[in-house]
Amino acid sequence: MTQNFQLLSHSLNLNTPSYGNRDKFIINEKTQIEKGDSANSSEWKFTINHLGTHIDFPSHFYSNGASLSDFEINDFIFQHPQLIDVECFEAKLIEYSDLNTIISENTDLLLIRTGYEIFRFTDKYWNDNPGLSPEFGMKLRSDFPNVRAIGFDFISLTSWKYRKEGKKAHREFLKGDKKNRFFIIEDMALKAIKSKKPKRVIVSPLFVHEANGSPVSVFCEI
């Protein structure tokens, strides 16, 4: 059988990296058949909800911003995704001018692939990561109104070495009130995508009421 979908998110595990190397995903076995219990079950602990491949919603940086509860199901389905390669292997602020491809007018999900996920299980992944500039956010939101989300293959939109600029960038990308339906997908698995314009992308967050962020599974139709 031909596989029509590809996973664009990393599986959560005990080695999942976190921004600033401060948080963890913890697994504790609750019951085990091998120990005489009737079933296997586990306890999962997130020390923060912004961990692994996850979404930042507007309420992450705006007290009146939209949370997960303000989004409709269709807001998580993208019919015109576009992938752009911007090679980057060190901390820098990626600018709109660094793009070597024109964003299509009908693009609704913009994916930035830098190749940085090769460092994902090293300290370099969180302490030397690239980020996106505030000006990139301003340009994207003003000139490409059809883009409803942006995703990338590094740990955060904020570069660890440019944290002040990273806060501004988050606010530029997420700005708006509860009517704003834009969100950010951080720490994606983009290495294996072959098509620059996949057929469709489906984003499936862990639905928690009024969440400002959520772990997410992302599926790409190829």
| b/e code 38-66 from CB counts within 10 Å (16+ = b) | eeeeeeeebeebbbbbbbbbbbbbbeebb
For the chain, the average pLDDT equals 96
Q: How far is CA 114 from the centre of its chain?
A: 14
Residue 180: its pLDDT value, please? 83
Residue 176: its pLDDT value, please? 77
What are φ and ψ of residue 96, in 5° steps? Answer: -60, -35
pLDDT band at 2 (very low <50, low <70, confident <90, very high): low
Using the predicted structure, report yes or no on whether residue 53 has a pLDDT greater than 80: yes
pLDDT band at 115 (very low <50, low <70, confident <90, very high): very high
**What is the tally of structural domains in the chain?**
1
Rounded alpha-carbon distances, angstroms, from residue 89 to 41, 109, 150, 168: 40, 23, 19, 22
- The pLDDT tens digits of the residues spanning 151-165 come to 999 999 999 999 999
Domain that holds residue 82: 5-221
Residue 1: its pLDDT value, please? 52
Q: Is 93 helix (H, G, I), strand (E, B) or coil?
A: strand
Radius of gyration of the chain, Cα coordinates, nearest whole angstrom: 18
- CA 56 – CA 42 distance, rounded (Å): 27
- CA 2 – CA 11 distance, rounded (Å): 22
Residue showing tokens 């007018």: 105
Report which residue type is found at 47: T
Using the predicted structure, report yes or no on whether residue 3 has a pLDDT greater than 80: no
Residue 164: its pLDDT value, please? 97
Alpha helices (runs of H) in the chain, residue ranges in sequence order: 124-127, 134-143, 163-174
- CA 172 – CA 11 distance, rounded (Å): 29
Residue 222: its pLDDT value, please? 85
- CA 165 – CA 170 distance, rounded (Å): 9
Where would I find the beta strands (DSSP E) of the chain?
Answer: 5-7, 25-31, 41-46, 54-56, 77-78, 81-85, 93-94, 109-113, 131-132, 149-152, 183-186, 200-205, 213-221
Whole-prediction pTM: 0.96
- The pLDDT tens digits of the residues spanning 164-196 come to 999 999 999 999 778 888 999 999 999 989 889
Mode of pairing for the β-strands spanning 54-56 and 41-46: unpaired
Using the predicted structure, report yes or no on whether residue 116 has a pLDDT greater than 60: yes
Q: CATH number of the domain that 201 lies in?
A: 3.50.30.50
